[in-house]
Structure 1
């Protein structure tokens, strides 16, 4: 027994000392193709693929210290020695510089492994029954898997990162996402994509905010020359510099027609979408077209509480608003923070600082046309959330407009802007415009290679440790041998678990909680604060004193998901950050336990508050608008298309200020953007009374309009105080439906407005504007149309609600 143990140790020692990694260059280096069963390894500098015209190279590209991404780049470096990256497989999860490899499995699946990690961090998810697949890089820069039948199993042109090459299409299924900076290639905040209205748009989206800024959001799409009625969504630029899109976006680069030139379209890290042509003689890229001529109109340019101005010499410059300081001096996206402590909310505690020719676009709490400056100040003073207001004269409409703001972002300062901002500041703060110390150009001092140090060490002197271990075991017999075996394998397992947990946390950005930790935080799951089909939610207090909501998933309802499957879901959800979506802090996937940890919402669910006197009509309209914004983000502005599938008052949670956040979207179905059919929807989803009619018909595709229907029912429930159905009613039958009851009241009124008072819940505190309420009810009824194509999108609902005027 001792001898066999020693032999096993020797095998293990040599395994650790010389790991077996099969590489394409281990036999012969095929620069033009990777065959089944072979790999490209990160440590071998000659492990790469190259196009036959030698223009493009695919291989491991260094993005930092011990950090590599599998990428495609132009083979010839620029004049400054840098490479032009045109595609990356794992831009947000770099692999280690040792033992990582890209492998083409015999099943036809191309996978990227990070050193010792068992779970691939990237995969094409392909399968080839002919077992003849080859990975090639063609002369256009397209990396593709092809089998002997000529079938393309996968290609990089179908999943771009931030760049489109000539004749590479932008379709409804993909987006271009900017890099974080010129040296940090991870996903940034800006995106180019086809919206649900068939229009190519630019959007800014970070962990707190999201907003479309091109075409100009001040205008409708058709006013910007776009066509929203196309049946297809595709855009491309040919090798001559001619761009054409199905939404009628057409342009020619400044050097269009000149050939041969190397060209590219890139979603740049500063938020602009540009076309480039390569000047090979000088080794530089030249801009030949750009979407935005004014950089300061790009949303998110300078962060919160700051303004952007265009300097004729230095270009775009950011500056903190008065009495504020920059949060991070290397990154303007963090914005600025106040140097003063906010005063208590009261009319006598604040003044207004006038900023001429300044604007903060979006995030209006009210739209107040034809009003005075004095009235606008009073409105902002009585609202604790108001940070200031924009006041301007609209020459086209012939009256002044006031926009109270609950967030100061997308700041712009320009003498060409006809309007002013009035900042709300405590009376203790001087009203001076000359105390803004932080003024810098947009390109901060962040030059040099990005420093990405992966938190895993692989350079271990295993030979020395192994010899010591071998000498030690030579003197161990009998029972000690068993102890050594157990200790060895237990230590290996512990290191593997610790290393894998660290990998998962780095991959997802979430903390992995231990079950015992959550059990203690919730006092053995004592205080229940909610429940549903997916599980029960408990209140808990973490070791750092954060109050959280802990959702204990039903093990059967989670389809017995393993840790990897749960991680894949929440890592996607972690990128879906919006102020009106519940935030996920972490998870637990231990043994049979599956738990999710959310932020805690002080006022519970909308369902719990509907019958209370705490939700007056102003709060209810705010809840309707903010809920619509959260759903619009899920449907149209995030990187994946997500259907909630169970919009109801129980899944709309309210914080301490009664601001809503949509919850339980983590258990909904993730779909590729604009995919109109999901084969995994084998039964109706949702709750009786809130379900759209198409759930009951197998031939009808399930789209985002199912959430629109449910949202309309929720709004009608808030207005009428009536439940959507009785115990004997089904969600698909029109008989007894809440929207049918409202339509009957409208029809019986014969064109008069008497029906509004009959429909509106008379027990709700506060007054309401008849016109406002009538408009809100009609928006809800449009959402509840029987046929899905007659319903608006959630972004259209947001637009309609933003123009609903509240009663002053």
Structure 2
């Protein structure tokens, strides 16, 4: 061996020792990292942090925390639950330059996940895995100075010490959200949270409440006395002027160290106990009954409490995705074995022997207010909406009225008018809404196509549309944190439509009027009447011009083929309005008529974006977020669609997981800013 090779071997051994030294550690410091099979071990040996996968044949890996002494891999917390990495040897969990704990995918040289905490520039941080399963990012010198902790950002598991709270100031609940399926920790459809009136609730799609614990009586939830056991754990409720929260503690850590609440993929909240002698998890209780979970078996699925699998397809239908069903994800439901005969031809075409109703015995419809016993359709389209008397708004295709189901669930009923155009929009909207399912997309309850009536029924959004809060002089002004959260939610919804649906869906009419806000100001993209479905085998489509002036991408005007980045342009124009609180077409300065997007593009290149912020906020905004939002907006409104980012990249930029460089002034605005 040559001297040079001997030296290299010596250096590699030192590096190897330095890396391996982190195996037995409970912390990551600024000069340490975690990669490959390396792990953190809590001081008492209860918990491990490292890379894991629930499918040994999968190339999707996640950073998570799991029990050390439980033989069955049971993650209790997942960092990058929506963004797995494919090569753990090229993935690095480390302390980034800004002091945050971050996961870096070196194969694409891109951050995947970060604690995203605000940390003083003069602070040195350390990440410590505690023996209660809490991952803490704190000051390296002052251990009491905590910047971020996993207990404040739970995923699907409620461990002893975690607070499930309702913030009375922000009106936001901390949620426990299920996995997508038994192998995929991405956000699922079911969540657990608290209401302001101290009730614990389970929700489908973060909107529909399908189970409630009843109020707290000082010791237990009145509807669920078995949720607390005097032999295992104690549930505690705390109510202050700022928040109300529930937490629980174990009565005996030595004999029952592993007890947890799980928001299961089944939609049930379960309490589970690890039984060492049996080497398995034992269920203590589950709520509600499986078939009471909203939409558990999906469209055209039937639930049976006596069946081990619970879900099956009704006669004439088969599983939409057997692979998903095998992973206990039944949300896709079932599809027809043979398509319905056409309704567009003569009467004989659609009155054939092949289509008929089939009688089903021993079944009932969900007891969730979806059905009404009424004499006829007119008495029903009138009872629910009080004869369409409570108008919420109107547009070119009809009106929207507020209504209520028999169980008092508030709904919004969209009545389409103008038969020819309305029929086209109705079919497009029903077709699109039937294929999508995301927390940031509006969900509809049903529709009617009886005679000339064309109605769409949606969940009611109590905070109305985004434009009413930005432009119409509401007494309450949206603060910056809420605006940024709304922008991020819209971006995630569009990312889902463009990149994660079975078919790519181009919305074609993104604007503040089509963004609805729920009770917690979570955004829901609405109005899919102009949407265009694009098969995954196609990259673009030629279609007639659609959308709203002021948000139209240049390719609509020039007649070029349309791609999902037409929505990106509209999103960028709307993001500028979210930032400024004004219509882009409004006058910006008294000295002349300035087109706001052009002015914004110049200010972004000059790095002087503070003047773009809504005056009503009086400068109260996170400047780092403001810079990111302004830069992202100006990247989105580039004249050439190839220069615009995808919505997936927009999401990562807004999440702070990707650097956002200063964009050039869009070519379509350069003539406006030459002087």
Q: TM-score, normalised by structure 2?
A: 0.49
Q: Which has the higher contact order (CA 8 A, sep 6+)?
A: 1
Higher Cα Rg, which structure: 1
Q: TM-score, normalised by structure 1?
A: 0.42
